[in-house]
Amino acid sequence: MRISVIGTGYLGATHAACLAEMGHEVIGLDVDPLKIESLAVGELPFYEPDLEELIARHVASGRLRFTTSYEEVGPWADVHFIAVGTPQRGGEGAADTSFVEAAISSLARTITRDALIVGKSTVPVGTARRLQDILTREQDPTLEIGLAWNPEFLREGFAVKDTLAPDRIVLGVDADHHAETLTAVYAATVEQDVPVLVTDFETAELIKQAANAFLATKVSFINALSELTEAAGGDIRVLAEGLGLDPRIGRSFLRAGLGFGGGCLPKDVRALQARASELGQERSMRFLSDVEDVNLRRRERAVFLATSMLGELRSKRIAALGAAFKPNSDDVRDSPALDVAVRLFNAGADVAVYDPKANDNAARRFPRLHYVESLDEAVAEADLILVLTEWEEFARLTPRALGSVTTARKIVDARNVLSVREWIAEGWDFAALGRKYEPAFDFSPIGA
Ligand code: UDX
């Protein structure tokens, strides 16, 4: 099939490359000419394992091209996927769907044959039906142009794998033959026995936002329990295991630490609350505001521990290990790690940030922090070390190895990846989120 993908950001670039891998002819379209220039020569403007190689392979095979022109894709494709962003509207929790609307209007103006438009972007419930009205108003009335909603559940760091082998395919349609067209698009995947759920627009839209809100709730649930183990004692990691081994609960998304961030979970939690309010159902999603509160309190706790361990932040050097919102990503959107580094800097500390992939993105956002090229450089002059993103490189740290490159003997494990006992045995002042903090040395807590 001939397929266009509108929007070649994180989601669209992955989707376009994976559709080419499934055997389709694909054109990726973006209004940003710089993005298109780099993709056209097989270069990825962000970090994602396996994706650059896949794009380069299919650009070379001729199955994948890139353009900035709707006039090129409108008359050409059988199916048009919309994968543009739906960012948070300035100052509000609600999602801004104007890029999706603009894409629909541009397609309506340029499509000259029967075709199917498929939304992949995460949108508030009710958007697809509204877009269908725009489409009907603006399209050539002699053509049959359908609309479907097909949310995407890929995770950063696993984008290619999740797209080629998803755990479900959700198709929101208003006509059976649109579901058939999409099943044909995903034939290579459907053959692997992936469950396909065919439903209406509203359910499809809600499944996506509900999934992210549920995942965020799970993370905040275990992090709320962290507050209890910090006060009462106990090991949050073992507690999570004890919960997760119940198959009705499940083990995933119960890793306690600095909380959730990134381009999806925080935004979707806010957007779902905002949409519920618009629908007069504010109470139904009210608990999500607690989910957000717990999430932010983890950052405050990390800052509190740092302050307690140092006694005073001014003129102290802190090594912030990690800036990305999670490992295997260079994404710093809504990153808890970067937020903690900035809070410490604002409180007067000299913060040296090291992230294996996200330094450049972090420096664009917060140029005043001090960015260094290696872990050794970050910790060399440090008074305190904070593990803020659970990169493998940090999870492998041992007190002896680290002790040979720094004189610091204070560390906060904000991601629960280090062994408490080992560090304390080697004489380090060690604190972890979710563990009761027992200081190794005398100190005077600040702001307790
Ligand atoms: C998420 C959804 O998983 C994905 O289905 C959706 O399409 C986009 O949003 P992503 O943002 O890539 O994907 O990150 P994910 O791996 O889901 O992690 C989200 C956040 O939760 C991260 O900040 C992560 O550090 C945090 N997290 C996750 C925890 O703090 N504890 C956990 O146990 C799991």
For residues 351 and 393, state if they share a domain.
Answer: yes
For residues 186 and 272, state if they share a domain.
Answer: no
Total tally of structural domains belonging to the chain:
3
Secondary structure of 214-235 in the HEC alphabet? Answer: HHHHHHHHHHHHHHHHHHHCCC
For residues 305 and 262, state if they share a domain.
Answer: no
For residues 217 and 160, state if they share a domain.
Answer: no
For residues 406 and 421, state if they share a domain.
Answer: yes
Residue 447 lies in a domain: no
For residue 135, give every residue at least 6 positions away whose Cβ sits within 8 Å of its Cβ, in sequence order, or none: 104, 107, 108, 117, 145, 147
Residue 178 lies in a domain: yes
Residue 438 lies in a domain: no
Predicted local distance difference test score (pLDDT) of residue 228:
98
Quick one: which of 117, 89, 86 has its CA closest to 104? 117
- Domain C-terminal end among 199, 221, 240: 199
Query: Residue 428 pLDDT > 50, yes or no?
Result: yes
Three-state DSSP state, 365: helix
Residue 445 lies in a domain: no
Predicted local distance difference test score (pLDDT) of residue 443:
45
Q: Output the residue whose Cα is nearest ligand 1's atom 9.
A: 264
Q: Six-digit token pair at 378?
A: 């970050």
Determine the longest span between alpha carbons in the chain, in angstroms.
80
For residues 10 and 135, state if they share a domain.
Answer: yes
For residue 87, give every residue at least 6 positions away whose Cβ sits within 8 Å of its Cβ, in sequence order, or none: 95, 96, 267
CB crowding 26-49: b at 16 or more within 10 Å, else e: bbbbbbeeebbebbeebebebbbe
Under the banding of pLDDT at 50, 70 and 90, the label for residue 438 is: confident
Q: Where are the alpha helices (DSSP H) in 141-200?
A: 159-164, 176-185, 187-190
Under the banding of pLDDT at 50, 70 and 90, the label for residue 376 is: very high
Residue 263 Cα to ligand 1 middle (Å): 9
For residues 110 and 236, state if they share a domain.
Answer: no
Predicted local distance difference test score (pLDDT) of residue 441:
55
For residues 31 and 143, state if they share a domain.
Answer: yes
- Taking only the tens place, the pLDDT of each residue in 162-218 is 999 999 999 999 999 999 999 999 999 988 899 999 999 999 999 999 999 999 999
Report the percentage of the chain scoring pLDDT > 70.
Answer: 98
Residue 442 lies in a domain: no
Which value does ipTM take for this structure?
A: 0.97
For residues 254 and 399, state if they share a domain.
Answer: no
Quick one: which of 338, 440, 321 has its CA closest to 380? 321
Residue 307 lies in a domain: yes
Query: Residue 448 pLDDT > 80, yes or no?
Result: no
CA angle 132, 134, 139 (to 5 degrees): 95
Q: Is the CB of 415 under 6 A from ligand 1?
A: no
Q: What is the pTM of this model?
A: 0.95
Under the banding of pLDDT at 50, 70 and 90, the label for residue 91 is: confident
Give the residue numbers spanning the domain of 329. Answer: 298-432
Q: Is the CB of 254 under 6 A from ligand 1?
A: yes
Distance separating alpha carbons of residues 216 and 250, to the nearest angstrom? 15
- Taking only the tens place, the pLDDT of each residue in 9-42 is 999 999 999 999 999 999 999 999 999 999 999 8
Residue 260, domain CATH: 1.10.1040.10
Q: Which atom of ligand 1 is nearest to the CA of 253?
A: 33
Distance separating alpha carbons of residues 53 and 129, to the nearest angstrom? 37
Residue 168 lies in a domain: yes
Average pLDDT over residues 376-396: 97
Residue 219 Cα to ligand 1 middle (Å): 9
- Domain C-terminal end among 292, 325, 348: 292
For residues 157 and 287, state if they share a domain.
Answer: no
Residue 130, domain CATH: 3.40.50.720
- Domain C-terminal end among 249, 268, 292: 292
- Taking only the tens place, the pLDDT of each residue in 271-320 is 999 999 999 999 999 999 999 999 999 999 999 999 999 999 999 999 99
For residues 171 and 219, state if they share a domain.
Answer: no
Active site residues: 264
Q: Is the CB of 153 under 6 A from ligand 1?
A: yes
For residues 306 and 410, state if they share a domain.
Answer: yes
Residue 51 lies in a domain: yes
Mutate to test the pocket of ligand 1, among 161, 205, 260 (most ligand atoms within 8 A of CB): 260
CA angle 300, 303, 307 (to 5 degrees): 135
Predicted local distance difference test score (pLDDT) of residue 190:
86
